[in-house]
Chains A and B, each alone.
Chain A
C-alpha cells in the first residue's frame, strides 16, 4: 500500500518515563517520523502502555482514519500484545501494527544521546516502511490437551503434581531415581523451624502414590518430546527395576534373601557413607516401596550363576523378573512442568579444603545423613573412626561466590549451615565454628534463627577459609584438622584445630541440564540453570510456550520458595487447561502452489516435521498447526515458492531499505 492508495500511518514514540526519554530525544523522533511518507499522525507520549496511551491509538484511528500503527517503545516481549489489542479494538486488523524496540535495543544500551536518537529515528523509519506492506491476518486457536507431564519427583515435582491432580487433571510424574522424594528426603530437619523433613514430605509422597489422577513412573526418563503448546507428545523410557511394581507387595523379603550376606555396594542415598545390597530400596519410606536390582552389582547379570535366592523368596508372587527389559511409554500432554532439581557442588574441586584427602572432612549432605535417624549411624554424629567430634568447623560458600568455581550465591547454605551447627551441637555438645563471608538470612524467621544460634554459643568467624590441612604446628594441633582462615573482624590470621570439617557445598545445575534443555527446547542462563521467561513477571514460564519451571532447576532456592514456585507452575498449567485453547500467532510458512516444483528440498529440513509431500499434486504441503515459523524452509526453497506470514520478503526488504535510507 502506498500514500496514493490512502496509506495513513500513526506513529507513537513512548518516553517510558525516563527509561527511553533519558537517552533518546523522543520529541525529535516523533517529529522526524511525521515527515515520512504515509504518516498521518506522529506523537510522543509518556507511557504508551497506560490506558490513556492505548486510548490515544484507538481515538486517532477514528479521528484520522489511520490504517497502520507503529509504536516505538520497549521489547515486543512485553507489550506487542498490548498494542496489537489496542489496534484491534480501535477497529483495525491487529497485524496492521509494527513495534519498534527503542528501549532494550537502544536507550538502555547506549549512552550518547545524539547517536541513540539517530538510531531510534532509523528504526522508526524502517518500521513505517515495513508496516505499509503488512497484510491482514487472523490468529488461530489450538486446543490444549488436559494432561500434564511433570519431570522430576523432588519436592517441586511432587507439589506441582499434587496441585494439578487435586484440581482433577491427569498428571504423569516421571522420576529418574528408584523413589520420589529428591534431596528433601535425605534431610533430617528443615530450617528455620526444625520440623522433621520426613514428617512433612512422606505424606505428600504417599499421596502421589495413591492419587487416582497421577501416573507415577520412577526409574524412568523422558527421552523424546515433540509437538507444541497444548499438543506435546513425549516418550518415556522406563528402566527395568527387575521387580514388577504391580506384583510386588513390598515385603522386602527378597532383600533379606539376597546371596550377598554383607551389603557391599556404596549406598548413594546415604552419600556413600554406608553400603547396600545389589537388591535394595533406597530408604525405608521410598515411594514406590518396591525394591530395585542394580545390574552393575548383581552377580546374576555378570556370571549367570547366582542361586537367585531373591526369586525363591518372592515365591508365588513372581514379582522378581531378571529378564525384564526397558519399556517405552508414549503419552499425549498439553503442558510440561520441569522440576529436575540441582546437584550439590563436588567438594573435590576445591582441593584446598581436603575433601577426599582427609577422612574427617565431610560435605553438608553427608552430615545430613549422619544426623538423620534412618541414616548410616542412626542419627549419631560420629567421625569415620567412631569418635564423637569435640570441635567442628563449618565452612560456608564452598563452590559458591567464588571466581574460581561458581560465582553465584547458592542461597540455602547459610541457613542449612546454621541448622547443621545447631543439630551437631545438640547431638554431640561439640564446640562449633562457622566460617562465613556474609551471613545471608533473608527469609521468614531466618534472622531470628541466626540470633538463636548466636545465643547458643556457636562461634562465627568472618572470613573465607584458606585451607583445611593436617599440617600441625604444635602438639595441640597434632592429629587434628587445622582450618586456616583470615578472621576479617579480628584482623588476624587464625589456625583453628578441629576434629570434623563440614563443607557447605553450593547448588549447581544437574550435570545433564544441557541435554534436558535441548530436549525440551528451552534456554538456560550461562551457568546452566534453566531460564525463566521474565525474572520478575514470568518466573515459571519459559520461552517455549507450555513448558514451565519449578524448583532448583531454575536456580538455587529453599523448600518454601520451591513449593511456592511449584504451585505457581501448576497454576499456569491449570490456566492453560481451563482456557481450553490458546491463540497462536499466524507467523507460519505457506507454499505458493503454482510456483512449487516439488523438489522436496524443504521436507527433511523442517525441525517440526510440519512439511509433507502431496503425492497427487506433487507439491509440498505445510501443516499450519505444526509449523513454528522458524523460516528454515523459506530460506531453503530454491524457487522462492515458500512464504511466511509476518515475514514476507517485501516486508523484510522494505524494513531493510528503511533502515539503510539515511535521510
Chain B
C-alpha cells in the first residue's frame, strides 16, 4: 500500500506533540504506512495569510509540490489550520489565474513541479472513509471505560471546505468514538471558535471563549472534550487553572486528541500516546487509563 504523505506542521512538533505521537501510533496499529514529507516548511499559516497572501500561498504550495515530488497521492495534514491553508491554496491556485500563475512560477524557480492534484486529507476523514467504522469496531481491544466525551471539531476543519464532514453539524468523530464504545454527548458548540490565537493576543477574550466551550461541555454532562486540532486542544487544556481562578468554578477535565482515544482502544502501546503531556484532568486520565492497565499511571 502506498504510504500517506505526512505533513506534521509546527504545532505537532510543539504544543501538540501528543497528537503526533498518538496519530503515528494509531496508524501503525492499523497498518497504514505514513511517510513524512522531507524538508517541509510552515504551512503558510492563517496569520501569514492575513499579512501577505501571495507569499503565504507560495509557502504553502511548496509543501504540496514536495509531496507531489515524493510521489504522494494523499497528504495527511492533522492540524486544522494546516489542512485549511493547504486546501485553500489548491482552491485559489485553481480558481484565480493571477494567484495561480504567481504560485506556479515561484515553484518553477525553485525547481519544483507545478501543482496538480495531490489530495490534502485530514486523519479524521481518512479514518472514517479509508478505514471505516466497521473495521475500527472490529479492531477494538480495549473498549472505552472512561467518561462521557464531548466531540469538538473547531471552526476550521469543516468550513469553508466541507470535505472532511458536514459544515454545520459534523458527526464523524462522534461516530468513530461510538465505534470504540465511548459515550458522546450532544454538543451544540462543536464548531464554535475555541478562541484561536486570541489567547495569545487578547488573552481575556480568548480565555472567555475557552470557558464558554468548557462550561457547555460540563453542562451537557461531558467528563472530557475530544478535539481534532492542536490549537483547540492547547487552548482548552492549558487555561483551565486560570478559568477556575477567574470564575470560581471547579472545571478540571481532560482534553484529548481523538487519536489518543482511538489509539488506546485499538491497542497501541499506551506509552506512545502522549497522555503524559496532559495539563488538565490528570486525575480522570489516571483513573480511566488505569482501569485497563496497572502501569497506566506511569503514562500520565
Contacts and interface: CB of A to CB of B under 8 A. Distances in A.
B188 A351 contact: no
Contacts of A350: 168
Contact of A351 (B168, B186, B212, B219): B168
A472 B168 CA distance: 19
A447 interface: no
A166 interface: no
A470 B169 contact: no
B216 interface: yes
Contacts of A471: 188-189, 216
A352 interface: yes
Nearest to A478: B219
A472 B219 contact: yes
Interface in A341-372: 350-352, 354, 357
A352 B186 contact: no
Interface in B235-250: none
A357 B188 CA distance: 10
Count chain B CB atoms within 10 A of each CB in A351, A352, A471 and give the residue with the most: A471
B166 interface: yes
A469 interface: yes
A399 to B, nearest CB: 13
A357 B189 contact: no
Nearest to B192: A471
B132 to A, nearest CB: 23
B216 A357 contact: no
Given A471-B216, A472-B219, A351 B169 contact: yes
A351 B189 contact: no
B216 A351 contact: no
Interface residues of A, number: 10
Interface in B139-186: 166-169, 186
B188 A469 contact: yes
Interface string A445-473: 00000000000000000000000011111
Contacts of B167: 351
A470 B188 contact: yes
Interface string B204-241: 00000000100010010000000000000000000000
A160 B90 CA distance: 54
Nearest to A352: B168
A472 B212 CA distance: 10
Nearest to B191: A352
A481 to B, nearest CB: 10
Nearest to A468: B188
Contacts of B166: 351
A564 to B, nearest CB: 39
Nearest to B166: A351
Which of A350, A351, A469, A473: most chain B CB closer than 10 A? A351
Contacts of A352: 168-169
Contacts of B169: 351-352, 357
A471 B168 CA distance: 15
Nearest to A470: B188
A352 B186 CA distance: 14
A444 B169 CA distance: 41
Nearest to B171: A351
Contacts of B168: 350-352
A357 B186 contact: yes
B60 to A, nearest CB: 26
Contacts of B186: 357
Contacts of A473: 212
Interface string A142-157: 0000000000000000
Q: Which of B166, B186, B188, B212 is most buried by chain A, counting CB atoms within 10 A of its CB? A: B188
Contacts of A357: 169, 186
A482 to B, nearest CB: 9
A350 B219 CA distance: 25
A469 B168 CA distance: 12
Nearest to A348: B169
Contacts of A470: 188
Contacts of B188: 354, 469-471
Interface in A302-360: 350-352, 354, 357
A351 B186 CA distance: 14
B189 to A, nearest CB: 6
A597 to B, nearest CB: 52
A357 B166 CA distance: 15
A345 B277 CA distance: 48
A448 B40 CA distance: 66
A469 B219 CA distance: 14
Contacts of A472: 219
Interface in A66-86: none
Contacts of A351: 166-169
A354 B169 CA distance: 9
B34 to A, nearest CB: 33
A351 B162 CA distance: 13
A357 B189 CA distance: 13
A357 B169 CA distance: 10
Contacts of B216: 471
B168 to A, nearest CB: 4
B282 to A, nearest CB: 27
A470 B219 CA distance: 11
A446 to B, nearest CB: 32
Interface in A583-626: none
A22 B186 CA distance: 63
A352 B170 CA distance: 11
Nearest to B167: A351
Interface in A60-103: none
A477 to B, nearest CB: 11
Interface in A540-560: none
A352 B169 CA distance: 7
Interface in A463-501: 469-473
Nearest to A472: B219
A357 B187 CA distance: 11
Contacts of A354: 188
In this complex, the member of B169, B189, B219 whose beta carbon has the largest number of chain A beta carbons within 10 angstroms is B169
A473 B212 CA distance: 8
Nearest to A350: B168
A471 B186 CA distance: 11
Nearest to B219: A472
Give the residue among B166, B212, B216 with the most A Cβ atoms within 10 A.
B216
A371 to B, nearest CB: 29
A518 to B, nearest CB: 31
Nearest to B186: A357
A469 B192 CA distance: 12
A116 B51 CA distance: 46
Interface string A563-587: 0000000000000000000000000
A596 B222 CA distance: 82
Interface string B72-114: 0000000000000000000000000000000000000000000
B52 to A, nearest CB: 29
Interface in B107-128: none
Contacts of B219: 472
A473 B167 CA distance: 24
Interface string A408-427: 00000000000000000000
Nearest to B213: A471
A470 B166 CA distance: 20
A473 B216 CA distance: 8
A470 B186 CA distance: 10
B83 to A, nearest CB: 21
A350 B212 CA distance: 24
A405 B88 CA distance: 22
18 contacts: A350-B168, A351-B166, A351-B167, A351-B168, A351-B169, A352-B168, A352-B169, A354-B188, A357-B169, A357-B186, A469-B188, A469-B189, A470-B188, A471-B188, A471-B189, A471-B216, A472-B219, A473-B212
Give the 6 A-B residue pairs with the shortest CB-CB distance, closest first.
A351-B168, A351-B169, A469-B188, A352-B168, A471-B188, A471-B216
Given A469-B188, A471-B188, A471-B189, 6 more contacts: A352-B169, A357-B169, A469-B189, A470-B188, A472-B219, A473-B212
